[in-house]
Amino acid sequence: MVEVRVPATSANMGPGFDCLGIAVNMYNRFIVEEIEEGLIFEGCDDKFKNEDNLIYRAMKKCFEKIGYKPTGLKIKIESEIPVSRGLGSSAACVIGGVVCANELAGRVLNNQQLLDLAVEVEGHPDNINPAFCGGMTVSISEGEEVVYNKVNIKEGIKFCALIPNFTLSTEKARAVLPKNVDYKQGIYNIGRTALLISALNNGDFHLLKFACKDKLHEDYRAQLIENFYPVKEQCEKLNCLGVFLSGAGPTIMVMLKEEDNDFTKNIQKFLNTLKNKWTVKELKIENQGVIVNREAELTKCS
């Protein structure tokens, strides 16, 4: 039996479209064991209890790469990360799947191979790398290889997720994006992406309100998220450091000073006036990434 814990992630981070992501302290746990035969799921809806389950598909991909054939599998899921909310639920499932499979097969693949495989399954690295390695990462794909680097963030900042009770699929959020962007828009985002990394690294948090602005995806996806702009404007009125669409949405992520104890209750009051129900959750940066617990042995994958 193997147990794997994977953190939630928030990708794009304002101007860092498809390249920036950060892990936060919300988790999915996957407990997997090889059984005599069959495929058994626990802890998920009946519609996911089949071979199309993303965790199983990731495991199967890993088994095929290694050349290992399990007799049967029992997969138990303990989930904190909401599905289709822009908090990396699919990335968590993919990482949970490939890491569990690798453990059951005898730890054949190294971390780089696991990362490359997970990105192959997921399709993009921005959620995969922070979920696997922890912290904030910059990720690119160079051919078939995933290249990433971690960003050191000064102490004094925390995050707050505003999570609505409606979902938004990544496919639908991708469909509204333009096929081409203006040259000036590209320059706009490049500068702010550099500023975002620099401000977080140096602790110049007052610059985040400028650095979080985006021209590549947020305005297009905002039309799919009811009350996106009123919520964002209210966050700014409440003196947040920065606010951005988390991943493809619909969750809105807010950056706050660590000592700010008023934002959460005040934004919840505002959200309570809206049609849809919103959950407010304060979060910290998760620096450990995926954790493997096998027969009382704790292993950090980083």
Annotated binding site for ATP: 82-92
Termini Cα distance of the chain: 22
Q: What is the DSSP letter of 82?
A: P
Q: What is the DSSP letter of 46?
A: G
Q: Which helix (H) or strand (E) holds 164?
A: strand 157-164
| Nearest to 302, CA basis, from 139, 110, 121 | 110
Residue positions forming the annotated binding site: 82-92
| Nearest to 83, CA basis, from 250, 242, 300 | 250
Q: Which residue has the tokens 């389950």?
A: 53
| Nearest to 133, CA basis, from 152, 111, 100 | 111
Gap between the Cα atoms of 113 and 245, Å rounded: 30
